[in-house]
Homo-oligomer: A and B are copies of this chain.
């Protein structure tokens, strides 16, 4: 019997409820495929923060870095200002473990309702590879008051004057600014991952950027993309401006196979992707460091208003669990879980409110666990 140890951070809001179902289904797969998971619970999230003042300590992160995969529920609480928990726990983990790939399958399962007309499961089946440690997510920015930080107030003036020899009459009393950066290595490795993925799929990689306006950062991205593409002559490619790709996701999702994107645009287009695959209740994600510690989570938030109601859809979390055990090497068990999700949906008897059903979170977990065990 193979033994795995997996740290779990159920997190906030509905996190504990959905994670319970994810563990249940993985345990069922373990029974069937001969592995056992020891779940190691971590309390991090809103309550822990309010009680102790700790978001997540370096000590805990070091400890977690001893494991190949972490199972995460959801982070976020209305009592705490936007960003504190998300940055202090979720983004900290992504950065600390250098999880440079955020892998998000956009797959419409059969029998799932999509808000998009005339598209079926065969049309919506691609994967987004989102860069996960750079870009505008590095958290570098600030404010400047007039006279206080000449450099930054000069930025705007310089821009105009370089172009037209104009002088701006008044500068703003105050500005807010943000800096994004991408590195050569950081860009290359995630694009390479996308091309490797495409080798085993439909051999097409789509790049996302806004190189016509944010030319410095994304012109650089394009160069790296072209360099990697040159090493993969069998893979076809295309470039998409981020504004345009939101249209194609809705109008022509069948065009896509592997989409690789800088971090921030990836955040935006994968939420849209989640919607076309049937909603956030059905969208899993993996934060992956192939040689380090990865972390799997539903891409939805903590839905505080549903907390404790045993009401929300656990499928995204269960699907993320399948990705987790695939990462551990249990490919057959992972496929069995995804197939069980598909079967639960096609049978259509046990489903949560978002899919038009009346069942509870745990009913759905039970049903999928049953199917996994082959009962």
Contacts and interface: CB of A to CB of B under 8 A. Distances in A.
Interface stretch (A5-13, A32-40, A266-274, A331-339): A266-274
Given A219-B176, A250-B272, A156 B183 contact: yes
A246 to B, nearest CB: 4
A11 to B, nearest CB: 15
Contacts of A160: 95
A267 B210 CA distance: 10
A251 interface: yes
Contacts of A371: none
Chain A residues touching B, majority SS: helix
Nearest to A209: B82
B165 A138 contact: no
Nearest to A266: B243
Contacts of A136: 213-214
A362 to B, nearest CB: 26
How many protomers of this protein does the assembly include? 2
A346 interface: no
A244 interface: yes
Interface in A88-138: 91-92, 95-96, 114-118, 134, 136-138
Interface string A167-194: 0001111111111111111100000000
29 contacts: A61-B164, A82-B215, A83-B212, A86-B213, A87-B213, A95-B160, A96-B164, A115-B116, A115-B118, A136-B214, A139-B213, A140-B155, A140-B159, A141-B216, A172-B183, A173-B184, A174-B184, A174-B220, A175-B182, A176-B181, A178-B179, A178-B180, A178-B216, A179-B179, A180-B180, A243-B271, A246-B268, A246-B271, A247-B274
Interface of A: 58, 61, 82-83, 86-87, 91-92, 95-96, 114-118, 134, 136-143, 152, 155-156, 158-160, 163-165, 170-186, 210-221, 242-244, 246-247, 250-251, 264-265, 267-272, 274-276, 279-280
